[in-house]
Structure 1
Amino acid sequence: MAQFVDWDLAAATAGALSKTGPAVSFEEATQVVSELRTLTDEAAVHVAAYTGLIAHTDVPPVRVVDRRDWARVNITGLQKVIGPLVSRLSGDREPSPFADAIGSRVTGVQAGTVLAYLSGRVLGQYEVFSGEPGQLLLNAPNIVEVERKIGADPRDFRLWVCLHEVTHRTQFTAVPWMRGYFLGEVQAFVDASQGGEHILERLRRGVATLSEALRDEESRVSMLDVVQTPAQRAVLDRLTALMTLLEGHAEFVMDGVGPEVIPTVESIRAKFNRRRESGNPLEKAVRRVLGIEVKMRQYAEGRKFVHGVVERVGMDGFNRIFESPLTLPRLEELGDPDAWVTRVHG
């Protein structure tokens, strides 16, 4: 069967291109890892008390990683998802061995380049692709680097990050259908590309688009340029609504819990927001192409929606949003909490 990506080459490329983390001694690194694990457990107690959401499955312990480990975990997850999809969508048709080898190696380098960039940006992630129910990752070098750059109190900043990421873990472990729904929508997005250009070539062009943007600060392409069909746009609308909800909910929880348990939270939030908004032209171009700019807007728009719903019907009323996929907000409702409240609460 055709190999879409040379995954070993992607991992090697990501490892070679990943930036060196901040300088820390062995003792400091050990202390950071230990504290992040402790603060994750503390954050879980706060998030459960604030949201009323309780995990319905055994929750794997947090995995504290460095940048290369983060890239490797995501490569493993992507491999498990993309492999079967490519096999099914290509009908197991075999291209010429030469074309397959060249194409997979090119895409491997491009995918590794993208992951190397992201590995230096991501503070934490709930990784859902690798297996049920998913796993919480905390990227220790990035957390230390950011807390130093903004001059934050280390423990306060680390707990603040943990509150956000543990909320994501709670969303996927307290809502039994969430992971399956998300993976189903990702699969639907790929399925919707059938009928036109061959799926492998379209996916390769998408990866190439992202990789080229890392090298060309004049690039004006975006992820939407890769979307070709109306069916894909419909799926993208649902995924955008879901991700905006999940990010906004995590922001709402960290800002709701923060003032009670983090003495310097106001200073951290102000400095972190300024950092989010800053960046050189190349950095901003890459953010846009990789969807990071969209994600930053999702934080604000999603938080405003969650705040509006909780203000109207309380936290228990808001939690009806997790009853089923039918109670998730539609894209147009994200700017109109009253519309969601009327539809779901009558």
Structure 2
Amino acid sequence: MTSFRGAEMVDWDLAVATAARLARPGPEVGRDEARAVVAELRRHAKASEEHVRAFTRMGGDVVHDTPVLVVDRPGWAKANVAGFREILRPLLGKMQERRAGRPGNAVMGALGGKVTGVELGVLLSFLASRVLGQYETFAPADGELPGGADGGRLLLVAPNIVQVERELEVDPSDFRLWVCLHEETHRTQFSAVPWLRDHLRGEIQTFLAETDVDPGQMLERIRDAAQSLVGGRDDDRDAAEERSLVDLVQTPAQREVLGRITAVMSLLEGHADYVMDGVGPEVVGSVAEIREKFQQRRAKGASRMDLVLRKLLGLDAKLRQYRDGERFVRAVVEQVGMDGFNRAWTSPNTLPTPAEIHAPSDWVARVHGAGGGD
């Protein structure tokens, strides 16, 4: 798929091994407690299905076949490497074709693949200690990590959930259910809206198709960005910190596509946050305390290096997606109700535009008419 005469663009096995080796150790948990945590997360994931369906009025007649996997940090990294490999297949193929005719391709390709594998592993080791759960939209099944027939699977990262619940000093069972409600909402979104996965895949492939496929130029742009963060003037660093790695390597043609992808992701993430808090009071007794402490934790951040990495990787943009998307969903539901909001899932044309995410009334007027009703 991504090799030419034995040289791979990315050494995927090395990426997995590097992430596993560098991943921070999780909190101390005894064997019996670990088993209890896994069992409870599985129960909460199952219970979340009915809670989410009843609240969202989505997917009532859909049978889930997407597996729920409770994983550790290396397991999360392994699953995401498989997802990256699947979604990046067309881009890596194009880059491989560009490189194929160059002198010394085999040697440089093998070396470059290992370097890229290590870099990807380092990135995943950083992220592996921060993710609580994830619905993998593009998840190829393999022998160790099964996927559903529709291509998705739900991951719950047990050590991270335990670590955060301890840091926040909240009720463990309530917190675990709260996390499961968010991730189950994502699973419901994709299982109840059959066209959504292919639409998002198409947008991502359009974005990747516009990528500057010259590996040397891409590496040079990334190197310049890194130098501005660690060795440039203060004003250079400040400017770079306002832009993510995606911003720094994208072409002008990609910005329009990225705007649409960001709007969809804001909708998905905001909807999940809205649902987890909407369902919460009925089934999570301490949801108000959990939400307040969790928001404080998000806002506080960590060390300067952690903040720089968050900005460079675009993680701050993801936090904005939660806030912007949740405000959009809340405003629309207040105007037209849950069934009116669910018009968003009718087709790609009824998804909110980037501008409408920040102007919910404009979406209501476009989809429901000037009067805001049916």
Task: State the partner residue of 2:257.
Answer: 235
Task: State the partner residue of 2:18.
Answer: 13
Task: State the partner residue of 2:72.
Answer: 66
Q: 1:172: Cα distance to partner?
A: 0.9
Distance 2:344 2:218 in 1: 33
TM-score between the two structures when normalised by the length of structure 1: 0.93
Percent of pairs identical after alignment?
A: 48
Distance 1:215 1:111 in 2: 19
Q: 1:99: Cα distance to partner?
A: 1.1
TM-score between the two structures when normalised by the length of structure 2: 0.86
> For 1:115-147, what per-residue CA distance to the aligned partner results, in whole angstroms no more than 9, with x for missing partners?
000000000001122233300000000000000
Q: Are 1:81 and 2:104 an aligned pair? A: no
Q: 1:52 to 1:203 in 2, by over 3 A?
A: farther
Distance 1:198 1:273 in 2: 39
Report SS of the residue matched to 1:91. helix
Distance 2:286 2:39 in 1: 21
Distance 1:280 1:79 in 2: 31
Q: Aligned match of 1:298 in 284, 300, 321?
A: 321
Q: Are 1:140 and 2:145 an aligned pair? A: no
- Contact between 2:222 and 2:248, CA under 8 Å: does it hold in 1? no
Bigger Rg, structure 1 or 2: 2
Task: State the partner residue of 1:118.
Answer: 127
> For 1:25-46, what per-residue CA distance to the aligned partner results, in whole angstroms no more than 9, with x for missing partners?
1100000000000000111110
Q: 1:78: Cα distance to partner?
A: 1.0
Which amino acid in structure 1 is aligned with residue 350 of structure 2? T
Aligned length: 343
- Contact between 1:111 and 1:207, CA under 8 Å: does it hold in 2? no
Q: Aligned match of 1:175 in 193, 209, 228?
A: 193
5 Å-filtered alignment, 1:152-171, equals 152-171=170-189
Distance 2:296 2:358 in 1: 24
Q: Aligned match of 2:29 in 21, 24, 29?
A: 24
> For 1:170-221, what per-residue CA distance to the aligned partner results, in whole angstroms no more than 9, with x for missing partners?
111111011111111111111012xxx5343455567768988998898535
Which amino acid in structure 1 is aligned with residue 342 of structure 2? N
Q: Aligned match of 1:244 in 266, 272, 279?
A: 266
Q: Which blocks of at least 5 consecutive residues in structure 2 are unaligned?
A: 141-149, 370-374
Distance 1:202 1:51 in 2: 46
Q: 1:110: Cα distance to partner?
A: 0.6
Task: State the partner residue of 1:127.
Answer: 136
Task: State the partner residue of 1:198.
Answer: 213
Distance 1:76 1:121 in 2: 19
Q: 1:79: Cα distance to partner?
A: 1.3
RMSD over aligned Cα atoms: 2.3
Report SS of the residue matched to 1:260. helix
Q: 1:317: Cα distance to partner?
A: 0.6
Q: 1:88 to 1:214 in 2, by over 3 A?
A: same
